Amino acid sequence: MRSAIIISAFAALAVAAPRPQEIYFELVDTAADPEIVTPPTNVAVDDVAVLPAASAVQVADASVTDVAQAKRKQKRGLQKRDGDCRPEPAGTGPRISSPDDTAEAFLAYQPFKTDAINAATNANVPQGYSLAFSNLEASSQTVSYLGLKTQGQYDPITCASYCDQHPGCVAFNLYYERNPSVNPNATNCPNPTSVTNIKCVRWGVQVTQSTATNDGQHRDDFHVVVSGSNGYNKNAPPTSQTGFNGPVKLGGAINAPNDPITNTNTYMGYKFFSFDQVQTFAGGVAACTAACTAQTAYNSRHPPKAPAKPSVCNQAVVYVLSQNNQPQGIYCSMYSEEWAPNYATNYGQYRGSDYWSVSSAYAYTNGTYAASYGPICAVGGCPNGSFRGGNCGGYGAGTC
């Protein structure tokens, strides 16, 4: 279990990194455990407020100080075990009562599966999205829950529009759910008649078949189950960030050697942001680039002994770090020089029996630096505009 205290990443910056860069776990271990959210079953609409953009800057600024910050979690999606028999949302899909009103009959109802299969065809996948999974009997439960609404039809385009209305939404899950008609009570209404709701749930991280683990629950004697569950991920990259060029999509995290010309280490350390702090992947991107800028300012205020110069963060590499395919938070690596995508070869690593993987990796480069220097590339297949290094972290050749 991780501590609920989020410790500064500053200490990690003072340690020279082995090469190539591994995934470091000091800050991951000290961050709060990710809250896996199961969408509520007893509401027709659940709105989640957008975290203000300024909060990403505050999180970034805090990451370059020695101040620890306690973080209190807000639990969502939790329901009382016993209800009061009051009516719940009336349902938006066909009620399944033949051959009987049971979870088994609901799961056997073929039209739900047919709708999911049809919605997974290329013609019906919404523009700008890719299909992540189709026709499961489980819905996604993961971090970065951004709310839900019920729909009148099983329509992925309508659900995509709902996702697009939230600036942090990068994925959605559409499914049929068997819900009770009244709030079950163990004594007075333990197993009420069912209704069917068509649920559209939006997420701030990508969904996969591995996140679709919510295969139902019991509310007293009533069995909530899911059918026809489809997941979709947005194709668009994260937004541009003020003062930076990019994003540049990477196949993994950067594994940077020393500068090929000066043999100097360009790795400046890393930050790790929990979803409690940044809410979404988009929020993590903003926090990462803001932390890059803040780290440069911090280094300038605390320069090393002459003739050494304070390190400037000129490249930030941001990605989702997952443990056994379950997102844990946003990992943010910093470099004093820009490296070409050819070096993005760290796809993950084992830690004991757990596999920690890299996904949604992007690079941002300080705009001022990028105006003078291309990405370092001293391997085969280098992109146009790349060079072999030697700019001494942006201070210019011969100043290392």
Model pLDDT, residue 65: 53
User: Residue 151 pairs with which residues in a beta bridge?
Assistant: 198
Give residue 352's Cα distance to chain centre.
Answer: 23
Q: Which of 347, 385, 357 is nearest to 245 (CA)?
A: 385
**pTM (2 decimals)?**
0.85
Instruction: Provide the residue-wise pLDDT of the chain in tens; the chain has 400 residues.
Output: 343 323 333 333 433 444 556 888 888 988 888 888 999 999 999 989 888 778 877 888 888 853 323 333 444 444 456 789 999 999 999 999 999 999 999 999 999 999 999 999 999 999 999 999 999 999 999 999 999 999 999 999 999 999 999 999 999 999 999 999 999 999 999 999 999 999 999 999 999 999 999 999 999 999 999 999 999 999 999 999 999 999 999 999 999 999 999 999 999 999 999 999 999 999 999 999 999 999 999 999 999 998 889 999 999 999 999 999 999 999 999 999 999 999 999 999 999 999 999 999 999 999 999 999 999 998 878 888 888 899 999 998 888 8
Can you tell me whether residue 196 is helix, strand or coil?
strand
Model pLDDT, residue 72: 38
For the chain, counts of helices (H) and of strands (E): 9, 16
Structure tokens at 63: 């990451």
Model pLDDT, residue 397: 86
Model pLDDT, residue 61: 81
Q: Which of 275, 222, 38, 51 is nearest to 148 (CA)?
A: 38
